[in-house]
Amino acid sequence: MSLVAALLAIAAQLPYGFALSSMAPAFLWSHDLSGVKEIVDYRVLVPRDLAKSVMTEGGWSKYLCSEEAAQHSQKIAFLFIGKKLNSMDITGPSYTDPDLVNLLKETFSNSNSSMAFPYLIAPEDNAPVEKSFILEFDHSCQHKSGINRIALVGSCHVEGETFVRLSDVHALSDYLNSRTRNVMDGSSNLIVLCSGGSTHASSDSHSEGSILSQLIEIMNQLGVKYTVLYVSDPYRSSARSISQCGIKRFLVEGTIGNLSSNSTTCDAICQTKASLLEGLLVGIVLLIILISGLCCMMGIDTPTRFETPPDS
């Protein structure tokens, strides 16, 4: 509840040029790392900036760049690229995937380390979110051991022959089982799952909340230490499927499609229109009163002279 209250408070202070429907949230949590807990970063970030914050403030550099840590224990950094949520789903009721929202809020509150980034926007170069994260992670580790093992699950749009490509969650489970048998190989593990496409893990019949819960259960059963970063891709979220004209109309009217019937708020344009209509109504009433008064005064007929009263 503290996260929702904080987001509602900051949403009212957003610049007019940003709409919650065109931004997506990101959540980072870990039961292994300690330090920051229930921290909300209110900056409007692009994926590369978010990746930098995750590496420095979120502690992912310990998972991905520390060869010494990898040689003594099995640690996995898990990046889940979703497509369902936008920032409005966090500050209000979610009609897309309520199980996912509840899971994110629960893990945010109950983990030893957790951070939230409610305002993620699409980059200007239109690069896939997963590609931006992998490039930034690799750049942050280039002077250390670096990331030498990355597994891609689902419809990740990243080119390269060095990645381990897995078809679905079952293949990922087998991969994680094989990795836990090689704890001492000194490799850093990054798992990237991209929601969408035709894979079993990304089919529409399986919600992102259920997929994420299944992955967390697998890692808990394996007994490995892990950290999870859920990022809702602004390109893939439902708000991004609306045309630019539709987004502009949403900014003016405060509605998107079927959500118009559920909107009870009045933004700056709404208040301006209400003030103008109120002033117009008051002006019309005063004009009617003025015209009525003039008509009454013109209808008054008084005699021009008065007769002298007779003597009593």
Per-residue pLDDT reduced to its tens digit, 199-224: 444 444 568 888 889 888 888 888 88
Average pLDDT, the chain: 76
Residue carrying structure tokens 């994110």: 104
| Residue that wins the pLDDT comparison between 16 and 18 | 18
Beta-carbon neighbour count of residue 281 at 10 Å?
A: 10
Average pLDDT over residues 98-106: 86
Strand partners, 113: 30
Q: CA 281, CA 289: separation in Å to the nearest integer?
A: 13
Per-residue pLDDT reduced to its tens digit, 107-164: 888 888 899 998 998 888 778 888 899 888 888 877 555 566 788 998 888 887 788 8
Q: CA 278, CA 284: separation in Å to the nearest integer?
A: 10
Q: Torsion over CA of 106, 111, 115 and 117, rounded to 10 degrees? A: -20
DSSP secondary structure letters along 86-124:
-HHHHHS--SS-HHHHHHHHHHHHHSSEEEEEEEE---T
Give the strand pairing for 189-194 and 149-154: parallel
Would you tell me the crossing angle of helices 129-140 and 47-56 to the nearest 10 degrees? 40
The top-scoring range by mean pLDDT among 60-69, 78-87, 171-180, 246-255 is: 78-87
Residue type, 207: S
Has residue 278 got a pLDDT over 90?
yes
DSSP H or E stretch at residue 149: strand 149-154
Is the C-alpha dihedral spanning 9, 123, 259, 275 positive or negative? positive
Q: CA 64, CA 55: separation in Å to the nearest integer?
A: 9
Predicted confidence at residue 301, as pLDDT, reads 76
Q: Pick the closest to residue 147 from 187, 179, 194 (CA basis).
A: 187
Q: What are the residues whose beta carbons fall under 8 Å from the beta carbon of 186, sequence distance 6 or more?
A: 67, 70, 71, 145
Predicted confidence at residue 143, as pLDDT, reads 57
Predicted confidence at residue 26, as pLDDT, reads 92
Per-residue pLDDT reduced to its tens digit, 48-71: 999 999 988 888 887 777 655 445
244 falls in which pLDDT band (50, 70, 90)?
Answer: very low
81 falls in which pLDDT band (50, 70, 90)?
Answer: very high
